[in-house]
Structure 1
Amino acid sequence: MDMNAYLSMFIDESNDHLQSLNENLLRLESDPEDLSIVQIIFRSAHTLKGMSATMGFEDLAALTHEMENVLDLVRNNKIKMDSFIFDTLFKGLDALENMVQDVIGGGTGKLDVTTIVTALKSIVQGDYKTEGPEVAQEAAPANAEATEAVNDAAALLDEYQTSVLMQSIDSGLSVYHVVVHVSEGCILKAARAYMVFDFLERTGEIIKSHPSVQDIEQEKFERSFTVFMISSSSADDIRKGIMSVSEIETADVTQLNRDSLSHLGRRSNEAPAAAPAQETPVATEAPAATAAPATKTEAPKEDKPRPAAAAPVNRTIRVDIERLDALMNLFSELLIDRVRLEQLATEIRRADLTETVEHMARVSGDLQNIVLKLRMVPVESVFNRFPRMVRDIAKSLDKKIDLVITGAETELDRTVIDEIGDPLVHLLRNSCDHGIESIASRVAAGKSETGTVHLRAFHSGNNVFIEIEDDGNGINRERVKQIAIKNGVVTPEEAKRMTDNEINMLIFAPGFSTAEKISDLSGRGVGLDVVKSKITSLGGNVSVTSQEGKGSIFSIQLPLTLSIISAMLVKLGAEKYAIPLSSIVETGIIRKEQIRSVHKSFMMEFRGSVIPVISLSKILECTSWTENGEAETEIVVIRKGEKLVAILVDEFIGQSDIVLKTLGNYLTNIDAISGATILGDGQVALIIDPNALIK
């Protein structure tokens, strides 16, 4: 089989398991005695190892195997978790993530992990003394017992595999030796073998196959193959399941106990898969092997693989984002036709046509909601990586920091989700490094030793807000002003007139920093201009409020989706334009005499303040627009952060849901235009970028 066909699935699954390992290892660090968490970690590591070995990434599988050995001793109470073990396992996870990243980049997933492997082996052998001499004494019997058990079966089963099978028998699970013979006339042997393996994996857990899975998938076997597996199903059920696959001649399923395990392991090695006739005695000796069946005891639920019948139905599927984009584009075309049909129905005024179009509008409205929801992803997928990051930062800075996450189920468009990770990393690093004080400083200020960083997400209107709040130093505004003046960001006169919020926003100026020295975790300000640029490019904005000595809150506002937006359609001469509704404060009509000229700029009074007035036709150089002699004009007041601007337009057309289309590669960086849309009458309307107008 072509393993490249499964590469994307392997990458997705590996990332999921690595995330699970990180999360649960953090949980275990806060509660080291909870062995149920160790079981979860062990299962994730075991699955990752199996997937890596199947895909041929041996270094990945080998490192995971070493981590598994440590976890196995922990879950069996042979050793206790301590800081050395936690740090070593976290380093192992970092190495695994680097290997997977290498695979994503087209590499082979190879990495020099000698140091980590040595540390893991020292834990297994009890050579390190973090927890005292009893570690080595407790670990030794387990290793000795496993070594003794595999003396006869070493040629086929390695020490670890035999140990796993022995422990499964001790736990009351059933261990089976399965020999499958494919029909002599079978053409697609690999396909039949794949179907058998698929059934066995759903029924239990495969520990070893002979020949290897890779050889079997490449048809490098004659007519039979051997499998050692763990399951809670009966031998008859497994045999029936295998025989239900077409072109399978026989399936010999033998239940093993401690005595028969090594015996059958040796016999399997003596009777190679290439000679099915020699494998028959294995089945004939089954009664002798099972004459002393293993005593069954009720195993803990988390150790027990579920039988196929009890397996939960998978309710989710992975879909390539490009397919969702294609679906969105097709629906966009449908939306344009719907608006056109509604317009025609209004003109023709036939009852049956109107009724049909109204029904179509309702159905397409529901379809629109579903299509948009398909693209929505919980911010949890981004937030999940941060607890581990904050833990490492706190350790490197010798601080105590709690990260509290709320609203992780809040959903955002996939396009936005893919882009907000880096800005959030910058903000969290700044809160941990520059915001949260050292332990000594916090105690001196009458605060608890542990600083708290809140990461929260919530919906508000057509926007999603993400906030990062810390209970640290807050922003030293006097220092910010001094640095801003020194760097030429503002003049001393401008600085005197600035409000507290305006001073806070100075930290987003390019190159601005309050850090006294540059480090891996730079001071508040370094990189924050990048944060602002990225959030603005997504159609959002970022703001900060701070109270010196109490802490700071960074707030990011983002649009729910970037594909379909609500907009106000306006007219300039013969041309039509769309202004995103999320940026509009209000619309209105004013008398032209209310517009004043101040230092060659037009201004007007608006609700107790004076705001700039912009002629949209002049900015866009609208050729079809002519000055009319009317005493009144329509205005649209737009907002960006705290700034308001009034835009002069000719006529309001109305509110509409529009499909955002890019202008392509040839029309880039056009001032004040963010895209285009096709209206119901087939006309193209350009979409105004309010942020660019205010800027």
Structure 2
Amino acid sequence: MALDIKKFLGRFTGEARDHLARLEGGLTALSAGDGLDGETINGLFRAAHTIKGSARMLKLDSIAETAHQLEEVLGALRDGKLQQPPELGSLLMRGVDAISALVEQVEPSGGQLPPADQSLCAALAQAAAGTPPAAAAESPGATNQPDPDPEPELDIPPSAPAAASSAGVRAPETVRVRLEKLDELIKLMGEVVSGQTKLRQQLLHARALDAAFQSLLSESHGAQGVDTARLAEQTAALHRFTLGLRDLVMEEELLSGDLNDRALIMRMLPLAIVFDPIARVARELGRDLGKEVHCEISGGEIELDRHLIDRLSDVLVHLLRNAIDHGIESAQERQAAGKPRLGRIRLSARQEGVGVLIEIGDDGRGLDRDRILAKAVQKGLIEPARATGINDDQVAELIFQPGFSTSAIITDVSGRGVGMDVVKRTIVDDLQGVVSVSSRPGAGALMRIQLPVSLAVMRILVFQAAGKAFGLTAQHVAELIRVPKGETIEVAGRPAIVLRNEFLPLIPLAELLRLDDSAPGAGETALDRRPGGKAHLVVVIKIHESKLGLVVDRLIDERDMVIKPLPEHLRGLGLVAGIVVTGTDELVSVLQAPALLAAARRARGEALSAPEQSRARDTPAGGQQILVVDDSRNTREIEKEILEAHGYRVTLAEDGLEGWQKALSGHFDAVLTDIDMPAMDGFSLTARLRENDRYRGIPIVIVTSRQKEEDKQRGIQVGADAYIVKGDFNQSSLVETLQNLLG
């Protein structure tokens, strides 16, 4: 889907005006004969560069061309290739004025601008090449006009606003606001919404008091010693006050809700900002991996809160990389399988309920069930005996386990095993969303991400279980039902009901959260022991196609609320996403629906539980011995410092031959090696280590500046487990790779 640039024209003009003001301020001093220091010139250069880049993205060619020539002159000044005469300042100021006139036409014309002034651009180009400004203006090549004009006019249609004499004083239609100020406004609006809840609570107290007085008045008729007339007058006054307070609260709720919605809209951005670059990334990554890839995009007009957009970009890029690296086959493989050479990836978004559903699908090979299960058994995530009984949904969930990857070699593209678990944590914990994957062998895989529209204020359902209040975000609540106690059945020994021709598992929330410690009697289920009337109150949560019925005691409230983050030391608990404050200042835990569904599966024995050793990657290294082989002393010391900071013991070797000798004379839990080294290169060292029985299963990581695909393939051939490019090197990638391989 093509990007509608008209949405961004207003933002461009506001930003361009700021940069033009900065340029004008600096160049005025230059025109007056005052020299500019290097930092000032560098700031002017960045301003012109930003205008040029933004104009090119929006296809505003005349602005981009003029800004480019202006940037060239400022670049020459920055590099000391030009002097700073006042004439140069005047020429540059003419360029700024030309850009300003064009910028004022952007919005009225819808981005349809006249061509750039070629005589001005030629004069700027010659000035950048070292020709004095006066000579440039008189040069025959600088202008096509017989009479050189020191102030060339732009070819602007008479109808353009810039041609009007009042163009210089026309008020802008947009105002730029710093994001921090907008965030503060939205945060304040969230507090206003929370305040409305407290105000409504006071209204409930007033109504209760009104009802009490009405009851007292009816009981006092005929009673001795009671001034019935005065009591009736006071009761009527209280009733009028209560009605007025009710109307005021309702009016304030409408106004604050409308104001909050309008404030949130100010921070909403179209998904096209994230989606549109994806197609280019897909093509470039496909070329790097020797694959032909086409990315289809739809739904870019759907808008999300900017805070969601910011966190979503890295997630989508990672999923795209996985789809291309793991999913899409090479052109030869696709032809052999009867598929077209061109692999297709589909990125789409659509509104679903109160949130947004984003899907990334491909027509590649799909998830390899056998390889995933083999890797899970190898890492100790499941027992070998259970592998055959695991369903496809459980197999798909395995790829979200920390440190899980089926890649033949860990590279900078994918396979480090620290990606999909981070993707899931980002979506679930940070964005209050849900992620799932489905696959068909040989036909591709589909990733589904369900997100709220905004995190600032969310619809929360508050209910009670075991005497405690809890909340759930409305996007995960499918419906509320009352189920007569006699209509529950048992499915596989667990309570359930039949809801619209499908089984819905039931579980008391108190039991799921282990709030009820009383044990059932013989033949008695947790539902049978529940107090109350003749029916169960059930909150049905839905995560994509999976549903669960949570049996609760009663409903408390349902309204827009601000979710407060947990304190730092309580984050990562899994079940709790945050807290909300009720009208009575009670703190209520907001539960994570995906975590509740997973906990219910564990209670039914359907979930895969990772043994304790699978979580050892989060613990200190415990003194494991690492051999680092590199002919660069600086690289060796950097890697040594990083590894020792994480508890590893490190031995250094200056080249492949010394590394081979130290490997034979000692025992190491892992080997890190460069490729290009004297005496013996890293490929040869890796191959020789793999021939030795002691190092046949020891992790070997290649850390090199070589980034060609053939070098990575050779790393696979000689037996390396990971391939880290020094240009992409960072501390976390090295440590996480080792933790994955050693864990």
If the length of structure 2 is used for normalisation, what is the TM-score?
Answer: 0.54
2:481 matched residue in structure 1? 588
* 3-state SS, counterpart of residue 442 of structure 2: coil
- Tell me, yes or no, if structure 1 residue 323 matches structure 2 residue 323: no
Matches within 5 A, 1:244-283: none
Distance verdict in 2 for CA 1:291–1:394, change over 3 Å = closer
Q: Is the 8 A contact 1:387 1:403 kept in 2?
A: yes
Q: Deviations over 1:257-302 (max 9, x none)?
A: 99x999xx869599xxxxxxxxxxx99xxxxx997458xx999999
**Identity of matched residues, %:** 28
1:553 pairs, out of 439, 442, 446, with 446
- Tell me, yes or no, if structure 1 residue 678 matches structure 2 residue 581: yes
2:198 matched residue in structure 1? 340
2:330 matched residue in structure 1? 438
2:350 matched residue in structure 1? 458
| Alignment length (residue pairs) | 488
Q: Is the 8 A contact 1:585 1:638 kept in 2?
A: yes
Whole-angstrom CA distance in 2 between matches of 1:484 and 1:603: 31
Whole-angstrom CA distance in 2 between matches of 1:680 and 1:630: 28
Whole-angstrom CA distance in 2 between matches of 1:58 and 1:388: 33
Whole-angstrom CA distance in 2 between matches of 1:9 and 1:372: 34
Deviation at 1:20, TM superposition (A): 7.1
Deviation at 1:427, TM superposition (A): 1.1
Q: Deviations over 1:414-455 (max 9, x none)?
A: 221111122211111122222222122222333322222122
Distance verdict in 2 for CA 1:43–1:404, change over 3 Å = farther
2:408 matched residue in structure 1? 516
Instruction: Please list every run of 5 or more consecutive structure 1 residues that lacks an aligned counterpart in the other structure.
Output: 25-36, 63-153, 158-175, 181-192, 206-229, 235-253, 271-281, 284-288
Q: Deviations over 1:551-575 (max 9, x none)?
A: 2222111111112111222134665
2:396 matched residue in structure 1? 504
Matches within 5 A, 1:127-206: 201-203=99-101
2:320 pairs, out of 413, 428, 437, with 428
Letter in 2 for 1:557: Q
1:651 matched residue in structure 2? 554
- Tell me, yes or no, if structure 1 residue 619 matches structure 2 residue 513: yes
2:604 matched residue in structure 1? none
1:447 pairs, out of 339, 345, 354, with 339
Distance verdict in 2 for CA 1:610–1:197, change over 3 Å = closer
Q: Is the 8 A contact 2:577 2:592 kept in 1?
A: yes
Whole-angstrom CA distance in 2 between matches of 1:532 and 1:671: 12
- Tell me, yes or no, if structure 1 residue 47 matches structure 2 residue 67: yes
Letter in 2 for 1:331: M
- Tell me, yes or no, if structure 1 residue 636 matches structure 2 residue 539: yes
Q: Is the 8 A contact 1:545 1:553 kept in 2?
A: yes
Letter in 2 for 1:611: P
Q: Deviations over 1:505-529 (max 9, x none)?
A: 3333333323223333235976222
1:660 matched residue in structure 2? 563
2:310 pairs, out of 415, 418, 441, with 418
| Bigger mean CA deviation after superposition, 638-647 or 510-519 | 638-647
1:408 pairs, out of 300, 317, 321, with 300
Q: Is the 8 A contact 2:292 2:343 kept in 1?
A: yes
Deviation at 1:49, TM superposition (A): 7.3
Letter in 1 for 2:67: T
Deviation at 1:232, TM superposition (A): 6.5
Q: Is the 8 A contact 1:612 1:644 kept in 2?
A: no
Q: Deviations over 1:594-630 (max 9, x none)?
A: 789999x96444544363524438837599xx98576
Letter in 1 for 2:477: I
Deviation at 1:255, TM superposition (A): 14
Distance verdict in 2 for CA 1:441–1:293, change over 3 Å = same
Whole-angstrom CA distance in 2 between matches of 1:15 and 1:466: 31
Q: Is the 8 A contact 2:190 2:260 kept in 1?
A: no
Deviation at 1:370, TM superposition (A): 0.8
Matches within 5 A, 1:233-252: none
2:264 matched residue in structure 1? 372
Whole-angstrom CA distance in 2 between matches of 1:549 and 1:256: 58
Q: Is the 8 A contact 1:660 1:676 kept in 2?
A: yes
Q: Deviations over 1:347-405 (max 9, x none)?
A: 26534443333332222222121122122111222223323322221222222211222
Q: Deviations over 1:640-671 (max 9, x none)?
A: 45544433322112421212122444654456
Q: Is the 8 A contact 1:464 1:559 kept in 2?
A: yes
Q: Is the 8 A contact 1:379 1:417 kept in 2?
A: yes
Q: Is the 8 A contact 1:634 1:650 kept in 2?
A: yes
Q: Is the 8 A contact 1:433 1:523 kept in 2?
A: no
Letter in 1 for 2:407: A
Whole-angstrom CA distance in 2 between matches of 1:689 and 1:449: 42
| Bigger mean CA deviation after superposition, 515-524 or 555-564 | 515-524
Distance verdict in 2 for CA 1:439–1:691, change over 3 Å = closer
Letter in 1 for 2:451: L
Whole-angstrom CA distance in 1 between matches of 2:44 and 2:434: 35
Letter in 2 for 1:372: L
Whole-angstrom CA distance in 2 between matches of 1:257 and 1:666: 63
Letter in 1 for 2:100: R
Whole-angstrom CA distance in 2 between matches of 1:542 and 1:667: 23
Whole-angstrom CA distance in 1 between matches of 2:275 and 2:45: 22
Distance verdict in 2 for CA 1:554–1:364, change over 3 Å = same
- Tell me, yes or no, if structure 1 residue 529 matches structure 2 residue 421: yes
1:563 matched residue in structure 2? 456
Q: Is the 8 A contact 1:514 1:524 kept in 2?
A: no
Letter in 1 for 2:255: V
Q: Deviations over 1:125-177 (max 9, x none)?
A: xxxxxxxxxxxxxxxxxxxxxxxxxxxxx9789xxxxxxxxxxxxxxxxxx99
Distance verdict in 2 for CA 1:653–1:53, change over 3 Å = farther
Q: Is the 8 A contact 2:327 2:445 kept in 1?
A: yes
Deviation at 1:457, TM superposition (A): 1.6
Deviation at 1:50, TM superposition (A): 4.6
Whole-angstrom CA distance in 2 between matches of 1:257 and 1:197: 10
* 3-state SS, counterpart of residue 456 of structure 1: strand
Letter in 1 for 2:425: S
Deviation at 1:56, TM superposition (A): 11
Matches within 5 A, 1:467-478: 467-478=359-370
Distance verdict in 2 for CA 1:334–1:637, change over 3 Å = same
Deviation at 1:233, TM superposition (A): 13
